[in-house]
Structure 1
Amino acid sequence: MPSYAITGASRGIGHPQSAQPDNVVFGLVRNKSTATELLGLAQSASNIHVLQADITDSSALKFQVNVLGVIRTINVFLPLIRKGGLKKVLTLSSGMGDLDFARNVDVTNSGPYSVSKAALNMVVVKYAVRFKDEGIVFLTISPGIVDTFQGPPPPPAVLEELAVLRAQVKKFYPEWDGKSLESEESVRMQLQVLEKATIEDSGAFVSQHGNKQWV
């Protein structure tokens, strides 16, 4: 019975709505009192446990969350990972952090976000190299373009930026239907990649397809 620790579990991709009943899931949230949906899920599923654990000490910039927050989280859980049977760490990145994608698709926006994800990819490589002899697999996965919006619609400026990005991606991936993945579908695909991964794959940066196809 594998155990999973999931950060950012209150909503979106991190929400453990597709957790299998034979898995033990620890959902980490910044504010337990506001994670009402997750708490309700935990009440109906005995294998899901909600813990309050903010990966940053202050209201941080995305760069701090995407890089330093991940480092802190991995370091905290390393003793448990070493004792576990699964010995796998999955870190969410983005195709926006891929150098070839940014160049080929002519992505000019989201500079700080892209830089932080590129830095995160290298962080995971360093962990993979450091702990290869211990058999710990580290993977960085882009979840694809996922519909994670909740609550009121995003501001018009954000919608306009997303529309431009989608148009650019469509030029590079003409076969893409332009639709976003639902969170459950993305998580299912990521878990398939994680389950197949071996120590030889450790440090890889791939998409939800297990390759460099980012949509």
Structure 2
Amino acid sequence: MASGGPIGSVLVTGANRGIGLELVKRFLAKANPPKVVFATCRDPEGPRAQELRALASKHPNLAILQLETTDPKSIQAAAKKAEARLGGAGLNLLINNAGIMPACTLESATSEHMLDVYNTNLVGPMLVTKEFLPLLRKAAHASVHKGMGCGKATIINMSTILGSIEKAPEHYALFPVVSYRCSKAALNMLTKLQSMGFKEEGILCVAIHPGWVKTDLGTEKADLTVEESVKGIMDVLCNLSEKQHGILVTWEGKTLPW
């Protein structure tokens, strides 16, 4: 069964726009919000983080951290600041949301392009999780709940149905984006490996497909608004348990094949 109780702390990467920003808003708006919501982005002082800064001025439990997911030193610095802010407590929920989806076909792909996308979409979440793992372990060990869940310690990797190898034929013509799809398939494998590696410590690991969302990545042609997608994701997060450990689920809570 799911690990009940409120989420004490959450960290969201890529939180200055789109799904990440909406997740932050939803956590802050909860009747029983987390004691600390960490919102990370590349440039907290820049124009793209203006809305985050406005939220922080109204919500003392919102902490904005500079974090570039492709820069190990930046991740380490963010982890140290998060640890200081938590004051001895652990991190309950890590959402690896930051990602990129540049245009890329089989004909246009280059080694440099592929490696850049992998660096952001796969290596980034891997490094962020690795650096924040001590805080996740601390939360898991301190929890009184026996079952897995977001109230204990959870890693969420924001993935996509486009990373599903089994579903690939259904979406190939409409979404070629080769580098993105390959990187997310690799992220799915990372999620599966994390689920096996961290199971004994009680850390839940899940990949989530947010749907085709009207964001900078999804464009205006997409099916869902950011609000619709994140409302679904929040419902999914509240109901996660061992049943979803090491699998890919949709924003509606349905299981997708790898």
TM-score normalised by length of structure 2: 0.67
1:185 CA displacement? 2.4
Distance of aligned partners of 1:51 and 1:210 in 2 relative to their CA distance in 1, 3 Å threshold:
same
1:213 CA displacement? 6.7
2:38 alignment counterpart: 26
1:91 CA displacement? 0.9
Aligned residues: percent identity?
32
1:45 CA displacement? 1.3
1:124 alignment counterpart: 191
2:181 alignment counterpart: 114
1:42 alignment counterpart: 56
2:254 alignment counterpart: 211
Separation of aligned partners in 1, 2:65 and 2:200: 31
2:237 alignment counterpart: 194
1:71 alignment counterpart: 126
Separation of aligned partners in 1, 2:60 and 2:171: 45
Match of 1:94 among 155, 160, 169: 160
2:247 and 2:255 in contact (8 A); partners too? no
1:17 CA displacement? 1.8
Residues 120-157 of structure 1: per-residue CA shift (max 9 Å, x gap): 000010000011111110000010011113xxxx9xxx
1:87 and 1:135 in contact (8 A); partners too? yes
What pairs with 1:104-183 in structure 2 (closer than 5 Å)? 104-107=170-173, 109-149=176-216, 180-183=223-226
- Give SS of 2:26's match: coil
Which residue identity is paired with 1:12?
G
- Give SS of 1:99's match: coil
1:206 CA displacement? 1.3
1:12 CA displacement? 0.6
1:102 CA displacement? 1.2
- Give SS of 1:38's match: helix
Which residue identity is paired with 1:18?
R
- Give SS of 1:50's match: strand
1:132 and 1:199 in contact (8 A); partners too? no
1:195 CA displacement? 2.2
1:212 CA displacement? 4.2
Separation of aligned partners in 2, 1:48 and 1:206: 28
- Cα root mean square deviation, aligned: 2.5
Separation of aligned partners in 2, 1:79 and 1:6: 17
Structure 1 residue runs of 5 or longer lacking an equivalent are 164-178
Matched, 1:52 2:58: no
2:12 alignment counterpart: 6
TM-score normalised by length of structure 1: 0.80
